[in-house]
Structure 1
């Protein structure tokens, strides 16, 4: 999944990013509110990790901006403020959860998993197409019930396709969702990952079809 981290402390940002990458997620990092607004206005994210005390203002203004746009992306607030009134105001503004600094990174990972489960509307959000299934929280693909080990990019690409099996994804759209703004990649990289996924899907009743000039779609054979 793709996350937006809004945090001006670079040491903390690097530590959080490393933890999320270990779980196979892609992370864009913004140090200021205005940068965060640009990221969220031009990209799509599955989760936002938001600091409150930022160089150009209070992170609450970003949260208000985000919810005013009618976006339901879950937001976990990272704050040094521990007063009950602060926490209540954050939840009232639309935060899904909060963590008080300093926090344990393992707990943050657990909170992230919990929020993503709630956002999917189920404690076990397994998605199935034909004889292929995917658990987005556990990051597990199964073909005919057998677990398939995927590399991080392959996993996230498959996640996008199986979450919208009737949608055609252009190469540019897939690049935007699989890579951060800082990564310099070509659309040829998508072809490589599509090829790898097709090999994994060969034993199944599902394949990835190419729609010339449009992109790719997950289809039953």
Structure 2
């Protein structure tokens, strides 16, 4: 999952981006509204975490511009501006959540998980396919009841596949979801992750199939 963090407090931005990357998300960080508006127009994000008091362009103006372009990324407003009027205005402009500073880190993480579940169209915290299950709260996988220990990139790829089980996930969508602008992900690297996942999923009777020239999809292994 790819997140855009828009925060002009440099120390807070650094801390939150480190927390999100440690959780396995791909994160881009900008510190002013104009950069946020330009990046949201040019790139695809699952979630935008948006401060309001920003240089160059107010966060609500960024939000208005996003929704005016019919950008459907989930938006969490993260701000010290917490009056009822401000919250109503933000939500009416299209924000999906509104969290007031200072905030509890546990609540922040839980709200992100909830927003990303809704963004993926998933009602339940646990998704299952064959002998594989995925708990979106802990972002952990079980194969036949046994915890599957995965590096961040493989976990992110498998998360994409299981939440779209049976459907082809285009290679471009994989790259967008797993990388920030500072990262690079080649076709060979994706194929290596897929190869490793095939071996890990064999005990669950599952495999990752290649849709040649398009992408990959999670499927039941042939008998």
Q: Same fold (TM over 0.5)?
A: yes
User: Counterpart of 2:137 in 1: which secondary structure?
Assistant: coil
Instruction: State the partner residue of 1:212.
Output: 212
- Given that 1:211 and 1:217 are in contact with CA atoms closer than 8 Å, whether structure 2 keeps it comes out as yes
Rounded Cα–Cα distance in structure 2 between residues aligned with 1:3 and 1:148? 24
What do residues 127-157 of structure 1 show as CA deviations (whole Å, max 9, x unaligned)?
2222222223321212223221211111110
Alignment of 1:114-125 (within 5 A): 114-119=114-119, 120=121, 122=123, 124-125=124-125
Alignment of 1:52-131 (within 5 A): 52-119=52-119, 120=121, 122=123, 124-131=124-131
Which residue in the other structure is 1:9 paired with? 9
Alignment of 1:141-160 (within 5 A): 141-160=141-160
The change in CA–CA distance for 1:72 and 1:171 in structure 2 (over 3 A counts) is closer
Contact 2:34 2:57 in 1 (8 A): no
Root-mean-square deviation (CA, aligned residues, Å) is 2.1
Shift of 1:58: 0.9
Instruction: Give the Cα separation in 2 of the matches to 1:94 and 1:172.
Output: 27
Please give the secondary structure, in 1, of the residue aligned with 2:82.
Answer: coil
Question: Structure 2: which 5+ runs fail to align?
Answer: none
Number of aligned residues: 220
SS in structure 2 of the partner of residue 66 of structure 1: helix
The answer for unaligned runs of 5 or more in structure 1 is none
State which drifts further: 174-183 or 40-49. 40-49
Query: Residue 92 and residue 173 in structure 1: after superposition, are their counterparts in 2 closer, same or farther (change >3 A)?
Result: closer
Q: Distance in 1 between matches of 2:56 and 2:166?
A: 42
Does structure 1 retain, via aligned residues, the 8 Å contact 2:37–2:62?
yes
**Alignment partner, residue 195 of structure 2:** 195
